[in-house]
Amino acid sequence: MASEPAESNIPQRVKQKAYPAREAGGFVWCYMGPADEMPAFEVPAFAPTPDARVSATKVRVRCNWAQILEGQIDSAHSSSLHSSDMVPAQVDSAKATEANWLRPSTDKAPRFQIERTSYGFRYAAIRRPIMNEATHDYIRTTVYIAPFTALIPPNNVHNVATLLTPESDTSTIFYFIAWNGTDKPGVDVETWRKFNVLQWGVDVDENFNGIRTRENDYLQDRASMKAGNFTGIAGIPNQDIAMWEGMGPIGDRSAERLGASDVAVAAFRRLMVEAARDFQNRKTAIGTTRPRVPHATISSYEGVVPKTVNWRTLGGGSEAPRERVA
């Protein structure tokens, strides 16, 4: 305080709170817990190396963060909601083009298997592939890293992740992220935002509010729907946002009837209730138990593999023994 005289004792009596922060993957990460409990900084799973190429969209979603998360970790809805953007094709794995994503299956009712982990869980959606159906499965593994990160099954160009920042109980900042890893070329920021119809200054204003809202029916194109487009809403994330916000600011779960495809949703809810109770009882917070899995080694997976392959050996982040089963 420049106005304080030299003999002032204010600096000895008053301290301004500060928090340690680090940059990684295009985000600023801040630790706000007790100083004597601060762990070593850990890079996020979508930026495992300093040279990882990360492209992100950012948009405000006007609903509770948990119903967004439940949509992100659900691997079944993509076969219906995004069916006009994720198109079945005779390919060996998901392929990204300028217009859409190709996928090697027409199966809209996958089987699910789940694996709980110290950081959350990972699970497989197992579908019939278009080719070699008798001997192979089409596997998509999705990873949930508590509390707000999901790793979505990748394609041949980039890996995919989502990140949530709750602003309040009924408002959330949603990030849809593409990153290249070590074996993919990746995608530049503007191409990624254009593909997802979330370009800043075009589809999203300076405050990150999307121009597609409940009030204007998300600019749904009924003529496009008549021509065969499933939703008539441009952009995969915008289709999701219509579903998330369509449930209301906080969805009424008491009236739900969960089905066989809601395995991940049910697992998320159980996990969050357990984590809240553990925190209340002063137990170790989720994701901080030992031994723990480094986030840089966690990844999702997608591809057509022989039926003899154990999906837990695919991708990264499993805590189960690495083995193949007949």
Res. 133 pLDDT band, cuts 50 70 90: very high
**d(Cα 21, Cα 99) in Å, to the nearest integer?**
38
The token pair that represents 88 in the structure block: 């079945």
**d(Cα 32, Cα 34) in Å, to the nearest integer?**
7
The token pair that represents 184 in the structure block: 């993919």
User: Cβ distance 164 to 64 under 8 Å?
Assistant: no
- Does residue 4 fall inside a structural domain? no
Q: Name the domain count of the chain.
A: 1
Q: What is the pLDDT of residue 145?
A: 96
Polymer length of the chain: 326
| pLDDT exceeds cutoff 70 at 47 | yes
- Does residue 166 fall inside a structural domain? yes
Structural domain range at position 126? 52-313
User: Cβ distance 77 to 67 under 8 Å?
Assistant: no
Res. 118 pLDDT band, cuts 50 70 90: very high
Distant-in-sequence, close-in-space partners of 70: CB < 8 Å, separation ≥ 6? 264, 265, 268
End-to-end CA distance of the chain: 72
The token pair that represents 44 in the structure block: 């996020």
Q: What CATH number does the domain containing 165 carry?
A: 3.90.380.10
- Does residue 1 fall inside a structural domain? no
- Does residue 248 fall inside a structural domain? yes
> Mean per-residue pLDDT for 269-292?
89
> Mean per-residue pLDDT for 200-204?
97
| pLDDT exceeds cutoff 90 at 11 | no
- Does residue 133 fall inside a structural domain? yes
Q: Which long-range contacts (CB under 8 A, 24 or more apart) does 241-244 make?
A: 241/59, 241/61, 241/174, 241/210, 241/212, 242/212, 242/214, 242/218, 243/71, 243/77, 243/81, 244/61, 244/63, 244/67, 244/68, 244/71
- Does residue 11 fall inside a structural domain? no
DSSP 8-class letter at 201: T
Q: What is the pLDDT of residue 152?
A: 96
Q: What is the pLDDT of residue 322?
A: 46
Percent of the chain with pLDDT over 70: 98
**d(Cα 156, Cα 174) in Å, to the nearest integer?**
24
**d(Cα 122, Cα 139) in Å, to the nearest integer?**
13
Q: Which pLDDT tens digit goes with each residue over 61-99?
A: 999 999 999 999 999 999 999 999 999 999 999 999 988
Closest C-alpha to 150, from 251, 246, 44, 239: 44
CA distances to 133, 173, 211, 233, 234 from 216, rounded to whole Å, are 43, 20, 9, 11, 13
Q: What is the pLDDT of residue 289?
A: 81
- Does residue 29 fall inside a structural domain? no
Q: What is the pLDDT of residue 292?
A: 82
- Does residue 134 fall inside a structural domain? yes
